[in-house]
Amino acid sequence: MTAQSISAREAAGLIASGQAVLVDIREADERARSHVPGSAHAPVSRLGAAALGIAPGSTVIFHCQSGSRTAQNAGALAAAAPGCRVLLVEGGIGALSAAGVKLAEDKRAPLPIMRQVQITAGSLVLLGAVLGALVDPRFYALSAFVGAGLVFAGIMGLCPMANLLALMPWNRRAA
């Protein structure tokens, strides 16, 4: 079976009527800030080809933050729910909320690690550029170092900055 896209409004109707199982494929740090109460959690990074244990013949609706991860992983998501009707929410959790699906939110939960990486890397690049222009050109090396780190992270598939940020005190309570 293949996965099909569904509007958030259609998904909200199926969820409200109990005709579908909703599965959140975001990572735990993303889900900690907001999620649909009662939804199942199966992070796409750990999904693999393992089945979710949902009864064949069921309707399963997968969602992520914006809809792009579900679309990119449509084949793996369909394989994880064999014999089920697999639907992917267009627009992700934001669209579900806009369609009237209630969310449980914890604004005290830390930002997702990748957002923290983007904020930190962007700030360091900007700082290096400003200090290089206004104080000493050697500060451009900071921007180059961060840029090289991002290239390394992209090529190797691991991010030392994310690992370092995960150790910060504000992220420990989420673990």
Query: Which amino acid is present at 36?
Result: V
Sequence length of the chain is 175
Q: In angstroms, rounded to a whole number, what is the distance separating the alpha carbons of residues 26 and 64? A: 5
So which residues are the catalytic ones?
A: 64
Q: In angstroms, rounded to a whole number, what is the distance separating the alpha carbons of residues 87 and 152? A: 35
Output the DSSP codes for 22-86: EEE-S-HHHHHHEE-TT-EE--HHHHTT----PPTT-EEEEE-SSSHHHHHTHHHHHHHSTTSEE
Among 106, 95, 123, residue whose Cα is nearest residue 30: 106
Among 42, 35, 45, 38, residue whose Cα is nearest residue 20: 38
